[in-house]
Amino acid sequence: MSAAYLSEAETYYLRRLTSKRQRRPEHAADCPFFREQAPQRFREKRSAEAPVIDVPDGLFIAHRLAPEKLAEAPSDSEPDDRSRGVTIPRLARLLWQLMDMAQVNEVHPLPARRGRNMTMASEFARLRHAATRLEIAPGIPLSAHLYTHIDPFERKAVFARLRKAARTWPEGLAPQAFLALYANDISGTTLFLGQGKELHLKTRVQYSGSLIGPPYLVLVVVGEHNPRDGYAALRAFAQPLARTSAFIPVHNHHERKVACDLLDLQYHLRRRGIALGFKRPLFDLPSKIGTVRPDFVLDIHDSTTGEIIETALEVIASEDPEYLAAKRHQLSLLGKAGRVITARAATIDSHGTGAILKANLGIG
pLDDT digits (tens, 9 = 90+) for 234-264: 999 999 999 999 999 999 999 999 999 999 9
The H or E element spanning position 179 is strand 177-183
Q: What is the mean pLDDT of residues 314-331?
A: 92
Q: What is the mean pLDDT of residues 146-171?
A: 96
What is the total count of domains within the chain? 3
Task: Say whether both 94 and 242 belong to one domain.
Answer: yes
Among 283, 275, 253, 255, CA closest to 353: 255
Encoded amino acid at 114, one letter: R
Q: Is residue 191 included in any domain, yes or no?
A: yes
Q: Residue 275 and residue 140: Cα distance in Å, rounded?
A: 40
| Three-class DSSP category at 123 | helix
Cβ neighbours of 320 (radius 10 Å): 11
Domain boundary among 214, 246, 278: 246
Give whichever of 77-86, 238-247, 321-330 has the largest mean pLDDT: 238-247
The answer to whether residue 322 scores a pLDDT higher than 60 is: yes
What residues have CB less than 8 Å from 132, skipping those under 6 apart? 141, 142, 143
Q: Is residue 304 included in any domain, yes or no?
A: yes
Calculate the average pLDDT of the chain. 84
Q: Is residue 162 included in any domain, yes or no?
A: yes
Confirm if 135 and 142 have CB atoms less than 8 A apart. Answer: yes
Q: Is residue 80 included in any domain, yes or no?
A: no
The answer to whether residue 68 scores a pLDDT higher than 60 is: no
At residue 270, φ and ψ (nearest 5 deg) are -60, -35
Task: Say whether both 132 and 98 belong to one domain.
Answer: yes
Task: Say whether both 238 and 298 belong to one domain.
Answer: no
Task: Say whether both 159 and 119 belong to one domain.
Answer: yes
Q: Is residue 46 included in any domain, yes or no?
A: no
Q: Residue 10 and residue 41: Cα distance in Å, rounded?
A: 15
Q: Is residue 49 included in any domain, yes or no?
A: no
- Residue 255's region, left for phi above 0, alpha for psi from -120 to 50, else beta, is alpha
Task: Say whether both 240 and 254 belong to one domain.
Answer: no
The pLDDT value given to residue 74: 46
Q: Is residue 313 included in any domain, yes or no?
A: yes
Task: Say whether both 174 and 147 belong to one domain.
Answer: yes
Q: Residue 61 and residue 172: Cα distance in Å, rounded?
A: 12
At residue 154, φ and ψ (nearest 5 deg) are -65, -35
What residues have CB less than 8 Å from 346, skipping those under 6 apart? none
53-72 core/surface letters (b: 16 or more CB in 10 A; e: else): beebeebbbbbbbbbeeeeb
Q: Is residue 59 included in any domain, yes or no?
A: no
Task: Say whether both 153 and 258 belong to one domain.
Answer: no
Domain boundary among 246, 275, 299: 246
At residue 25, φ and ψ (nearest 5 deg) are -70, 150
The answer to whether residue 110 scores a pLDDT higher than 60 is: yes
Q: Are strands 308-316 and 340-344 parallel, antiparallel or unpaired?
A: parallel
Task: Say whether both 242 and 95 belong to one domain.
Answer: yes
Task: Say whether both 283 and 238 belong to one domain.
Answer: no
Task: Say whether both 273 and 192 belong to one domain.
Answer: no
> Which structural domain, as residue segments, surrounds residue 315?
250-361
Among 62, 49, 133, 88, CA closest to 283: 88
The pLDDT value given to residue 9: 43
Q: Residue 211 and residue 66: Cα distance in Å, rounded?
A: 32
Q: Detail the DSSP E strand segments found in 203-346.
A: 206-207, 216-226, 230-243, 246-249, 274-279, 285-287, 290-292, 296-302, 308-316, 340-344
pLDDT digits (tens, 9 = 90+) for 160-185: 999 999 999 999 999 999 999 999 99
Task: Say whether both 1 and 30 belong to one domain.
Answer: yes
Domain boundary among 220, 246, 272: 246
Q: What is the CATH number of the domain that holds 311?
A: 3.40.1350
Q: What is the mean pLDDT of residues 283-296?
A: 89
Instruction: Report residue 114 CA to chain centroid gap.
Output: 31
Among 32-41, 95-104, 226-235, 282-291, the least confident range: 32-41
Task: Say whether both 182 and 208 belong to one domain.
Answer: yes
Q: Residue 235 and residue 62: Cα distance in Å, rounded?
A: 9
Among 38, 51, 49, CA closest to 88: 51
The pLDDT value given to residue 65: 79
